[in-house]
């Protein structure tokens, strides 16, 4: 199958930032445009990209994306949300012999009030500190509760990624930005990427929705349990 915009083997696909507002989720459309394979239109999921050889990432795939996913020859899907997997998706997995690994990482909405300004903020990983925004005085009236995502959850998901028998695999959450981006960022630490490159990749998908708490989580993530870096991957970018 041919993709319109370049070679799928690259670890750094170009994404186009969306100017959509919050109602549209601030999604990005990756450079893999819909293509014809002679049988029909192949539509990638939102935020789809190749992370590395046999490892892909995306937002939540729907039925329109199934034909495209079949071309990847997936063995596994890593699903990072607590909600039950849709029946149509389960049927697709069963029909194609794809194993589902679900890691229930909560997205928690908290309310924070800053002097006449109401903010509704969603955190997908632990928030280590909350600083007063520039231009505000008086601080928060209500402190947000910590959202404790056990580091072991990410480590378990990484073990699935590193197990060769599970690849090719797709990692996804709802939007393919925060939870997926955090897991991919921790994988990059194993691959000896510098933090600048890790954060740059994360921000290409999160864009203006970038969360300092996600960056902090990736920075502090402990990789000492993993003795060897993944052998399936290319080297760290310069």
Residue 42 burial (C-beta neighbours within 10 Å; 0-12, 13-18, 19+): buried
- Angle between helix axes 178-190 and 212-220 (nearest 10 degrees) is 30
Query: Catalytic pick from 11, 81, 173, 233?
Result: 173
Phi/psi at 108 (nearest 5 deg)? -115, 125
The SS3 of residue 168 is coil
Sign of CA dihedral 156, 157, 159, 160: positive
* Alpha helices (H) along 17-146: 66-70, 87-95
Q: Is 186 a catalytic residue?
A: no
Q: Strands (DSSP E) along the chain, which ranges?
A: 15-16, 29-30, 35-36, 41-42, 49-52, 55-58, 76-79, 99-102, 108-114, 117-123, 169-172
Other CB atoms within a 10 A radius of the CB of residue 146 amount to: 14
Strand (E) or helix (H) holding 183: helix 178-190
CA angle at residue 199 from 193 to 204, to 5 degrees? 120
Phi/psi at 50 (nearest 5 deg)? -90, 125
Residues classed as catalytic: 173
């Amino acid at each position: 199958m041919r993709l319109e915009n370049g070679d799928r083997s690259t670890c750094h696909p170009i994404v186009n930032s969306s100017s959509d507002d919050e109602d549209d989720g601030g999604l990005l459309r990756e450079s893999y445009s819909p293509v014809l394979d002679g049988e029909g239109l192949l539509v990638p999921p939102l935020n789809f990209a190749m992370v590395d050889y046999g490892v892909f990432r995306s937002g939540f795939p729907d039925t329109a994306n199934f034909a495209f996913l079949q071309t990847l020859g997936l063995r596994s899907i890593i699903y990072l949300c607590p909600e039950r997997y849709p029946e149509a998706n389960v049927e697709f997995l069963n029909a194609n012999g794809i194993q589902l690994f679900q890691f229930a990482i909560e997205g928690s909405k908290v309310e924070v009030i800053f002097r006449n300004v109401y903010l509704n903020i969603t955190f997908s990983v632990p928030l280590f500190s909350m600083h007063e925004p520039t231009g505000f005085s008086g601080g928060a009236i209500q402190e947000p509760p910590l959202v404790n995502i056990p580091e072991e959850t990410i480590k378990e998901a990484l073990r699935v990624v590193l197990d060769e028998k599970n690849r090719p695999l797709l990692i996804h959450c709802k939007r393919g930005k925060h939870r997926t981006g955090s897991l991919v960022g921790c994988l990059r630490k194993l691959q000896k990427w510098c933090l600048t490159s890790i954060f740059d990749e994360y921000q290409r998908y999160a864009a203006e929705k970038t969360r300092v708490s996600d960056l902090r989580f990736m920075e502090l993530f402990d990789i000492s349990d993993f003795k060897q870096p993944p052998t399936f991957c290319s080297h760290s970018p310069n």
